Amino acid sequence: MPLIQVMLVDDHPLFREGLVRVLGAEEDISVVSALSDGGEALEKAKELRPDVILMDVNLPSLNGIQATREIKQILPRVAIIILTAYHDEEQLQQAVNAGASAYFSKDVMPGDLVVAVRCVSQGQNLLPVAAKDVRAFCSTAGSGGPGDTEGADEPDDKFVPLSNREMEILQLVARGYSNKEIASSLSISRQTVKNHMTAILRKLTVEDRTQAALYALRRGWIRVQDTGG
């Protein structure tokens, strides 16, 4: 099977070299370039057209979010995983809006990152999946390792038990909106949002809003990148 072509962009030499070693040890992954500058990454991406880019946020010339946005406009099929030294909700939303396929802290376990690379290379969106949940998500989606090119096609996945309003709310949950923000966006009360969330959790038989969003993402009911921003 074709190798997954990966480009690395990080201005910390030790971290960048660590990524090269981790990914380069995988038989199905090829690191085609390792750079330290956002502007250079944009030009190199046009030349190499990699399958996946691991992108640091804080970069010289062009930061990772800006570089992601510009690369996705030119190469929409490239999957970009944002890596950050610290988690920030506003930064996460910017990554979503820029078209990133995943957003992880740099303390992500190497094995989880390898699974994520394989997963996004096959078109899976890992937003808002946490690094600790990547293996479970990608296994369910049928993207846990080499050779897994298609997700499970279960007959009942085509049936969506949620109302249009519940789907609207779940879409906003997937974008990281709080109940207050959802209420404001949809011009309804916070209590109404809570009532809908209770119904969503009951219908999907999940325990919390994150599980509900993952459930819908896995089945293709919602796609974070299609929600705009």
Q: What's the whole-number mean pLDDT along residues 33-52?
A: 96
Determine the number of helices (DSSP H) and then strands (DSSP E) in the chain.
10, 5
Q: What's the whole-number mean pLDDT along residues 220-229?
A: 57
Q: Which domain holds residue 198?
A: 155-227
Which pLDDT band holds residue 29 (cuts at 50, 70, 90)? very high
d(CA 34, CA 21): 11
Which pLDDT band holds residue 87 (cuts at 50, 70, 90)? confident
Here the tokens at position 193 are 């949002």
pLDDT at 69: 94
- Residue 150 lies inside a defined structural domain of this protein: no
- Report the CATH number that the domain containing residue 182 is assigned in CATH: 1.10.10.10
pLDDT at 1: 67
Which pLDDT band holds residue 57 (cuts at 50, 70, 90)? very high
Which pLDDT band holds residue 155 (cuts at 50, 70, 90)? very low
Domains identified in the chain, total number:
2
- Residue 147 lies inside a defined structural domain of this protein: no
Residue 139 vs residue 8, higher pLDDT = 8
- Burial class (CB within 10 angstroms; exposed 0-12, middle 13-18, buried 19+) of 147: exposed
Q: Is the pLDDT confidence value at 27 over 60?
A: yes
Q: What percent of the chain has pLDDT over 90?
A: 50
Is 118 found in the same domain as 14? yes
Q: Is the pLDDT confidence value at 203 over 90?
A: no
Q: What's the whole-number mean pLDDT along residues 162-176?
A: 85
- Residue 149 lies inside a defined structural domain of this protein: no
pLDDT at 125: 84
- Report the CATH number that the domain containing residue 81 is assigned in CATH: 3.40.50.2300
Residue closest to 82 by CA, chosen among 62, 112, 52, 110: 52
Which pLDDT band holds residue 229 (cuts at 50, 70, 90)? very low
Residue 133 vs residue 13, higher pLDDT = 13
Is 180 found in the same domain as 103? no
Is 130 found in the same domain as 34? yes
Q: What's the whole-number mean pLDDT along residues 144-151?
A: 42
- Residue 16 lies inside a defined structural domain of this protein: yes
